[in-house]
Chain A
């Protein structure tokens, strides 16, 4: 059974710091991996989607990497800002026809000014 783990559960950093959020999954047979952001009381915003054949994806200050063989993904946030404060969730999709994302429980990030 696929399980997704995110460590740490919470992270506090000062503004301007570069940081890495970690995501691990138990079964390397995934179709893709997606990173989301969730603000309090809100839905999820898709940040980056990495197909299983890709190694990384970049969007602005965000860079996500994927190492399928080791069951790991990282989300790198450069020059963090207070507006980056949110919960970050990673989720894996098991196959192309599958639609059920399996989520980790998230890392809650707090960036102080």
Chain B
């Protein structure tokens, strides 16, 4: 299994540009998450999904959109990039269980700079 994959690894955007961060998992997990990590801060939840066709806002959703048309894919869309969106973005997936295996699996991250 490849686990959780993210593309691209790095990207530089100009203010006002748009882009989509891709996230794919091959573990058949129904839960998927998008986080951002800013220097010196904890990860913050942007959006999450509990299954195909179902998405919900997290703590910091403004400026972002998501969709979940399949179990495997959970893309994150930035419509009008702003410098405040400069961050490292992590995608994660999870299969809820009642035991010790209920954990999140993280992708390698996308480092985004908006200039």
Q: Do A and B come from one complex?
A: no
Chain A residues within CB distance 8 Å of chain B: none
